[in-house]
Amino acid sequence: MTRGISKTIDSIKFGLISPDEIRKMSATKVITADTYGDDGFPIELGLMDPHMGVIEPGLRCKTCGKRVEECPGHFGHIDLAMPVVHVGFIKDIKKLLQGTCGSCGRLLLTNEEIKEYMELISKTKELGADAIDMSVLTKDIAKDAATRRICPHCGAEQLKITLDKPTTFREAGHKLTPKEIRERLERIPDGDLPALGINPKTARPEWMILTSLPVPPVTVRPSITLESGDRSEDDLTHKLVDILRINQRLRENRDAGSPQLIVEDLWELLQYHISTYFDNQTAGIPPARHRSGRPLKTLVQRLKGKEGRFRSNLSGKRVNFSARTVISPDPILSINQVGVPEAASRELTVPFRVTANTIDLAKEMVRRGPSPEGVKYIPGVNYVIRPDGRRIKVTERNRETVSENLTIGSTVERQLMDGDIVLFNRQPSLHRMSMMAHEVRVMPHKTFRFNLCVCPPYNADFDGDEMNLHVLQSEEARAEAKIIMRVQENILSPRFGGPVIGGIHDHISGAFMLTYKNPLFTEDESVRILSKVKLLDLPEPSEIIDGVEYWRGKELFSLILPNDLNMSFRSSICEKCDVCTREKCEYDAYVRIKEGKLLVGTIDENAIGAFKGKLLDKIARDYGSDAAREFLDQATQIALGAIMVRGFTTGIDDEDIPKEAQNKIEAMLEDAKKEVDDLVQAYHDGLLEPMPGRSLEETLEVRAMSVLGRARDEAGQIAGQFLGMDNAAVRMARSGARGSMLNLSQMAGSIGQQAVRGERLSRGYWGRTLPHFKEGDLGSEAKGFVKNSYKSGLEPTEFFFHSMGGREGLVDTAVRTSRSGYMQRRLINALEDLKVIKNGRVVNTAGTIIQFLYGEDGTDPSRSVQGDAVRVDDVLREVLGDEVTDEMIELSMAGYGTYDRDMESFDTDEFDIENDEEGGD
Amino acid sequence: MARFNVLEHQMVPEHYLLSLEEEKEVLKQLNITRDQLPKLRMSDPAVRILRRIETDVKEGRIVRIIRESQTAGQTIIYRLLIRG
């Protein structure tokens, strides 16, 4: 095995291939349209001529003498009876014909103009123009030349040359044959070509007209033998057969002196076949079809598009050392780990070099063979690569001998074991956190397992999702992955400068149950909770009541906090009162941590949740990724301990509300319905005042929407009054574990107005939504208001309306995903070659500056605090201490507070009036 | 038709044509060659206004743009004038 770079590509030059070169590189001339003879062997001078390479095992190539695996294949060629236009160069041929003189072949510009343009070209190049800029420039030059009516060199009048798509050129209506075009292109002198962006050394224009056609090697278009023994040829071979047949007929007819008309028809036919041989999707040409009616896949189709060579074989490849299976959760694993099934571990291998230091280990591993016995998994060896490069498969039978003969310098491919670094990925890979490095834990059973905190970055759940795993094969790759791709290094997202990895669902419910209102736990319970967290001893009991020892939840949680942590924030359950009482919060929603002790407040989504966890954010930022990983592992485990001790369940009866509440909601909805009816009445009576900039109808809709929207909220509020914090569903919604208060109010109170495109439902029948209503009914029920709750059940009409609203949601997501996918693709294509160099500059691969300083402030967004380089409050708190900082913040907030409240107290109408009065000033 | 000066619009950042001496200084300070600069087309509306004010606005000259930045407050960038 050789490593390192032996040669580097300095530049790539594209050009045209000349007929001479085609013949020079050709291994054989192809004359007959036949492929195989009756004896089953390829015919000489046929399309499968063995000079062009071999595809059958056992045969030898007649050009290089090598066998199937070794012979790369060789080109042949077909001499065309008459020249034919190459479809791929139609545009360039047109540019050349229109820009040059029909009789003398010179560019239709004076020598001075040409010189001027050449100067412009070299100057543009000097200023760092790319290929696109250059092609625009040369196109402009050609356009200028095409406007000249008289040749400045020979004085000949220029006739108008038009392109009759796809391949016919006409001069003042008169048809130009490819032969005539070729003659004209031949006349263009080398000196005039650079001005048109053509390098005459690599691309003489007459080479755009084909006189001989290269035949690709058989290895490029292998024929396949079906089970029945029949041969099936490649699409390209089929097309070449067509070309050869017509070419032969054209030659015969021309030589026999057939009528001009027949020769021309055959010539056109040859042009058609050669055009479709290159591109079977040219506009204006009916695609050549297979006998079954399927369009043939010719050269361009092989390269173009998603399934083409570039996107599917060169930019993306199938790889070895990878695995894919279903995923499932495992809260015991650290966030850095991934559980790999034993079966997969036996297939996936890591190579290591046998040295004086590793030879004993290597021999021992090889001796185990590919499937070591034993209850506990130990890694074996699948292959040994000897120093001479020979690869030996280790089997049960040869493992002893291979082990004996193992020498220093060999490479051993050992099976996966605990602690190996692998990449783990879930599609769609929309951001860099979709592929992170994990440490392997080999486990029984058949799924990949990982910690639930890592679900958000992968956007994974366990309803059947599958994920991919890639085993790194070199020490450099492993080191790089461990330093920059490991899960713990990606806790803080570069997208918004906060954590993307964090507690979800039960982690949050558990932390909530552990800390909300600081509950007491007995010794037994406390030990159970702490036993989930490794290396934690039970502290001194917090309280002793009647001789029984109790521990406070907050004290248990404080055990996993860093000792010098100081911070305060508002929990997710915060009621957002007008005046915050902070530490004295009656809802226990103000978190204050001092010297690593949780004094007050509830730990919930705002503390440890993914995306929102402030506590997690602070620890990751101030104490580093190791501490963050440890905290996250412990916090989630302690939370799960708490939830398991106390138990947690939710069911449909969590949305039960008393009869009086139901009556209240019903009465309120009835009022809302009346209000809408009144609006409709006012509208019909012409008493409704139109809102500024809206028609009467729109005004009615807006007013009705707001009345009904308010009604839904009110129903939710009434229901909410009877659903307290002792209710599991409410606890989940408020702590941020799962669901929202809106979900609950739709279950217990009222589902509310259904909308399509943000408007009340209106389509279906003439003037009405369903035949249950009168035409022109604008009331709440007829336009899609669902007054029932999910629990009370929907009326038939309501169910229909709900389906209409639901359908829009589905269509939206379907449309959005495909559109955003394409947008992402375009964005990635535009940004993929950009990098930040050491002075903070953003450059592309050409060395052109894109941004003088990354993000204009040079800040790494994943090190930022929600996008800002520094958070002043935190600095103040560190320097001045909590009390002074709180005071300062309060002072600065005071102004905002009053202002906000003032704004809210304005009724919209009042506000308008006041504005009008002030308008005079 | 009254001609509108885009440079007077509040959304359009300030554009200045660098003198030849300033150009040298800027390139030296940034330690780059001229062709590495980001480009600005001659047909850009702001450049068309510059052409009315300054003499000798042509391809290869450098324009300094001072604009408000969401992240950095204010930022100075340079653009190379090119054809188009």
Q: What is the pLDDT of residue A748?
A: 85
* Segments of chain A scoring below 50 in pLDDT: 1, 896-921
Answer yes or no: do A358 and A373 share one domain: yes
Distance in angstroms (rounded) separating the CA atoms of residues A880 and A125: 59
Instruction: Search chain B and give the residue with CA nearest A127.
Output: B35
- DSSP letters spanning A611-639: TT-HHHHHHHHHHHHHHHHHHHHHHHHHH
Q: Which residues of B touch A129 (CB under 8 A)?
A: 82
CB contact under 8 A, A127 and B69: no
Q: Tell whether B3 is covered by a domain.
A: no
A893 and A765, same structural domain?
Answer: no
Domain count, chain A: 6
Same domain (yes/no): A131, A208: yes
Question: Which of A444, A410, A23 lies closest to A213 in space, CA to CA?
Answer: A23
Which of B38, B69, B84 is nearest residue A848 as measured by Cβ atoms? B38
- Residues A841 and A890 placed together within one structural domain of the fold: no
Of A126, A849, A857, the CB nearest to B72: A857
Residue B14's SS3 state is strand
User: How far does the CA of residue A861 sit from the closest CA of chain B (Å)?
Assistant: 11
Three-state DSSP class for residue A746:
helix
Residues whose CB is less than 8 angstroms from the CB of residue A533 and which lie 6 or more positions away in sequence, other chains included: A559, A560, A634, A637, A638, A641
A chain contacts of residue B39, beta-carbon cutoff 8 Å: 127-128
A434 and A537 inside one domain? no
Listed in sequence order, the residues at least 6 apart from A445 whose beta carbon sits closer than 8 Å to its beta carbon are A341
Together in a domain, A347 and A405: yes
CB A423 within 8 A of CB A437: yes
Cα dist. A62→A49, A50, A51, A52, A66 in Å? Answer: 9, 6, 5, 8, 8
Which of A582, A588, A581, A593 shows the shortest CA–CA distance to A618? Answer: A593
Confirm whether B66 is domain-assigned: yes
**Which of A116, A120, A123, A127 is most worth mutating to test chain B (most B CB atoms within 10 A of its CB)?**
A127
pLDDT at A902: 43
Distance from CA of B8 to the nearest CA of A (A): 24
Cβ contact A369:A455 at 8 Å: no
In which domain, by residue range, is B47 found?
12-82
* Residue A398 in domain: yes
Q: For residue A912, what pLDDT is reported? A: 36
Evaluate whether residue A911 is within a structural domain.
Answer: yes
Pick from A127, A843, A849: which is nearest to B59 by CB? A127
B41 domain-assigned: yes
Residues of B with CB under 8 A from a CB of A: 30, 32, 34-39, 59-60, 69-72, 75-78, 80, 82-84
CA atoms of A385 and A736, how far apart (whole Å): 54
Q: B63: part of which helix (H) or strand (E)?
A: strand B62-69
CB contact under 8 A, B71 and A126: no
In a domain, A729, yes or no: yes
The answer to whether position B51 is within a domain reads yes
Distance between CA atoms of residues A360 and A355, nearest Å: 9
| A424-453 tens-digit pLDDT | 999 988 889 999 999 999 999 999 999 999
Please report whether residue B28 resides in a domain: yes
Q: B69 vs A856: CB contact, 8 Å cut-off?
A: yes
Per-residue confidence (pLDDT) for residue B2, from 0 to 100: 59
Q: How far apart are CA A737 and CA A255, in angstroms?
A: 86
Q: Do A127 and B60 touch (CB under 8 A)?
A: yes
Residue with tokens 């002196």: A257
A-to-B residue pairs, Cβ atoms closer than 8 angstroms: 57
Torsion of CA A402, A403, A408, A411, to 10 degrees: 70
What is the Cα–Cα distance from A874 to A865, expressed in whole angstroms? 10
CATH label of the domain that carries residue B52? 3.90.940.20
Residue B7 lies in a domain: no
The percentage of chain A sitting over the pLDDT mark of 70, rounded to a whole number, equals 96
In a domain, A499, yes or no: no
Name the residue in chain A with its Cα closest to that of B34: A127
Does residue A424 sit within a domain? yes
pLDDT at A900: 45
The answer to whether the beta carbons of residues B42 and B83 sit under 8 Å apart is: yes
- Which residue segment(s) compose the domain that A909 sits in? 878-919
Single residue among A646, A669, A690 that ends a domain in this structure: A646
Q: Is residue B22 part of a domain?
A: yes
Q: What is the pLDDT of residue A512?
A: 93
- Determine, yes or no, domain membership for A161: yes
B6 within some domain: no
Whole-Å CA distances, B69 to A497, A856, B16, B45 = 19, 7, 18, 21
Are A659 and A804 in the same domain?
yes
Amino acid identity of A885? T
Q: Quick check: is A223 in a domain?
A: no
* Tokens, residue A404: 């004996």
Chain B residues with beta carbon closer than 8 angstroms to that of A122: none
Boundary (domain end) residue, out of A213, A229, A248: A213
Tell me which of A812, A827, A844 is where a domain ends: A812
Q: How far is CA A716 from CA A238, A696, A748, A769, in A?
A: 71, 30, 7, 27
Q: Are A109 and A148 in contact (CB under 8 A)?
A: yes
Interchain contact A124–B (C-beta under 8 A): yes
Number of domains comprising chain B:
1
Kindly state the helix (H) or strand (E) to which residue A79 belongs, with its residue range: strand A76-85
Q: Of A682, A701, A715, A683, which is closest to residue A780 (Cα–Cα)?
A: A701
Contacts of A630 (CB under 8 A, 6+ apart): none
Question: Do A763 and A721 share a domain, yes or no?
Answer: yes
- CB contact under 8 Å between A126 and B72, yes or no, is no
Q: What is the chain B residue with the closest CA to A850?
A: B38
Question: H or E element: which one contains A470?
Answer: strand A466-471
Q: Testing the interface with A: which of B33, B71, B76 to mutate, by most A Cβ within 10 A?
A: B71
